[in-house]
Amino acid sequence: MDEGQEVQGIRVILAKYWPSEQIVELYRAGGWWLEWMDASRIGDLMKASFAFALAIDISAGRAVGMGRVISDGMADAYIQDLVVLEEWRCSGVGHMILKRLLDECKKSGINWVALIAEPGKEGFYRSMGFKPMPGHLPMMLSTQEGGGC
């Protein structure tokens, strides 16, 4: 883990490991956890990410938000899985996570960072400098019977 900044009882850290049940709770909070998914692979997911940031409630020792970057570490990067538990939303925790991830990209010289925003979240990402990509269409191929990637 890497030392992070502390604000309002929250510290944002970079981690390669955290208890999988807390990570699954965050994926569920985002509506992204499907029952066929394997919680034992969470550690692999964290290690394979270019950066995996966790917002930790210091008093409880519990992860209340997360986000990750997938990248080759040189050119392009993609923000994935940015989520904050309901009780911590609109408190600045999401901004702290995203700022930490963007700082990691900048440290590596990555100057092109993209993401797919969920409807209604555009304002959050615009406030951090993101802009729509006119003329581009996000696409997905589902390789799992359950409908996820």
Q: Which residue segment(s) compose the domain that 37 sits in?
A: 6-128
CATH number for the domain spanning 108: value is 3.40.630.30
pTM recorded for the entire structure = 0.88
What is the tens place of the pLDDT at every residue in 33-92?
A: 888 889 999 999 999 999 999 999 999 999 999 999 999 999 999 999 999 999 999 899
Has residue 134 been placed in a domain? no
Sheet holding 6-7, edge to edge: 6-7, 10-14, 51-57, 62-71, 76-84, 112-114
In the chain, the number of structural domains is 1
